[in-house]
Amino acid sequence: MLKRIIPFFALGAATLGAAVIYRVRGRLLSQVLGLPQPQHAVAVTRRVGVPMPDGVTLIADRFSPMGVASAPVVLIRTPYGIPSDSWLLGAAYALITRAFAAQGYHVLIQSVRGRFKSEGHFDPFVNEAADGLATLNWVTQQPWCDGTIAMWGASYVGYTQWSVAAEAPPALRAIVPVITSTRFSRLAYPEGVFALETALRWINMLAAIEEIVDRGATRVFEQMNTARTDGLLTHATAELPVSVADRLVAGHSVPFYQTWLANENTTSPYWQHVDTNRALTKVAAAVHLVAGWYDMFLRDQLTDYAALLSAGRTPYLTIGPQHHVDAGIQLEGLRQGLVWFAAHLRAEQEQLRRRPVRLYLMGADEWHEMDYWPPPATMTRYYVQRDGVLNREQPQRSASSSAYSYDPLDPTPRSVGRCSVRTAAARPTPARTAHRCAAFQHTGACTRSRRDRPHSAGTVCALRPAIYRFCRTALRRLSRWSRDQCLRGHLPHRAGQRRGTGRR
């Protein structure tokens, strides 16, 4: 008899547990991810048409805080798909847009020209200024916009912010460009040499995303598989001439790839139209730059920061320990965006941190804040020794010399630097970053954030560092949340309590 009853009790307990988790899912997820608690329920209007001056219609999804007729608007323009295009790639954007909308913002996420349901032809960068400005003007005319707009996004989505920032209407009050820059010519031609792997990897990613609608998730996962992608790129990058490499990756000639190859001079009219760095001094919106130590845009993003600083602006800068496709950098950008928009769209200046620059000090595993970057520091010269290590002592002159062979078809492996995907060899270690620790410690130019304390992993974790840090932080916050609920003796939402009735 007891054996028959136990499964029913187990099923009932599971059902009750699922109901409780569903009821508190928004607050629980916010607690785990370190986001503000949601203040509003969110409604979604899918596939909103936004007309362009040339007759093309761009498609967007609108996320609205329920009970809020008019509010500041957060605009996100992306070539990677919006939530209504696919549950698979739209899931991440759905989380981001809902996080903004739950704080009382209307959020419009739009597919750029030629992507998914948006009409027209996709030519990277070329149409983003005109289409972005037209979208901003359209938003200001909507009854759900209170006259203030912010923009947010990473990589190409960050470029869509820079493309309009200098000429934007006064309604654009704040932007948060994450892991991006105003000079994409430097991404295509770093140090004057064509970035073949970067271009082909992006072509492969766009091809994978396009197959969501046509061939389903299985094909997408196959195309995004790291081993498959690396094998494909290894074969494509070895092909000569490089003008046919795009066909090996995409299966056909890619027009914008051919355009990039044809414009090897970064001062050509094409790149002059794409790059927006010359107009930085005209940007009136408040800027918060979010970067990663291992990101391929880091150098140019710091150049953008310096240019804004020289122009008399007060940009904020956050640099985390991530590479370009690390989900952690998107999450950090979301956290910073919520604070930045509250300060500049709602005049909640008290939410801003005291010092504009916040950096993650690798090796020490802690965040530091300072007034500007770079801080005052003493430069130390290191010399390559005969055994291949670095030392402060200058080696003695000798008749012997070191030699190596270089084969262009078998280039030196990359371990750190300008990369989109960080390999195991590029992971931060105390040995690699000890000099950074010393530089920060002796200058006295920064302070450790009281919210982020140093921690010890205790054991070696086999997971990738970004996943490991995320899991560790999530478990710590979930444990703290559970403890608080036990002490209070109730769940965040009591029976009969309405959600989204106001800010807490």
| Partner residues linked to 119 by β-bridges | none
pLDDT at 455 over 50: no
- Does the residue 504 lie in any domain? no
308 within some domain: yes
Tell me, yes or no, whether 141 and 55 share the same domain. yes
Q: Which residue has the higher pLDDT, 399 or 178?
A: 178
One domain for residues 136 and 54: yes
Using the predicted structure, report yes or no on whether residue 121 has a pLDDT greater than 70: yes
**Residue 461 within any structural domain of the chain:** no
What is the tens place of the pLDDT at every residue in 51-82? 999 999 999 999 999 999 999 999 999 999 99
Q: Tell me 55's DSSP state.
A: S
Q: Are residues 308 and 236 in the same domain?
A: no
Are 257 and 295 found together in one domain?
Answer: no
Q: Would you state the pLDDT for residue 60? A: 98
In a domain, 334, yes or no: yes
Q: Of all residues in the chain, what percent carry a pLDDT higher than 90?
A: 55
Instruction: Give phi and psi for 456, each to the nearest 5.
Output: -120, 135
d(CA 246, CA 257): 7
Dist CA 432 CA 422 (whole Å): 15
Is 460 within the bounds of a domain? no
pLDDT at 43 over 80: yes
When pLDDT is averaged across residues 20-34 and rounded to a whole number, the result is 64
Quick: pLDDT tens for 164-190: 999 999 999 999 999 999 999 999 999
Residue 304 maps to a domain: yes
Please identify, among 207, 228, 263, the residue that sits at the C-terminal boundary of a domain.
263
Name the domain boundary from 352, 367, 390: 352
The count of domains in the chain is 2
Whole-prediction pTM value?
0.78
Q: Say which CATH number the domain at 110 has.
A: 3.40.50.1820
Amino acid in position 110: Q
Question: What average pLDDT does range 355-380 have in this prediction?
Answer: 92
Once rounded to an integer, what is the mean pLDDT over residues 337-363?
Answer: 95
- pLDDT per residue as tens digits for the range 240-273: 899 999 999 999 999 999 999 999 999 999 999 9
Q: Residue 486: what pLDDT?
A: 54
Helices and strands (H and E) in the chain: how many? 16, 13
Place of tokens 């010269």: 381
What is the per-residue pLDDT for 463?
39
Peptide bond connecting 411 to the previous residue in cis, omega within 30 degrees of 0: no
**CB atoms < 10 A from the CB of 481, how many?**
17
Residue at which a domain ends, from 244, 263, 282: 263
> What pLDDT was estimated at residue 399?
57
Q: Residue 403 pLDDT more than 80?
A: no
Average pLDDT score over the chain: 80
Structural domain includes residue 457: no
Range of the domain at 199: 195-263
Comparing 491 with 414, the larger pLDDT belongs to: 414
In angstroms, rounded to a whole number, what is the distance separating the alpha carbons of residues 33 and 335? 9
Q: What is the pLDDT, as a whole number, of residue 359? A: 96
Whether 145 and 206 share a structural domain: no
**Are 164 and 279 contained in the same domain?**
yes
pLDDT of residue 240: 87
Would you state the pLDDT for residue 19? 43
For residues 150 and 294, state if they share a domain: yes
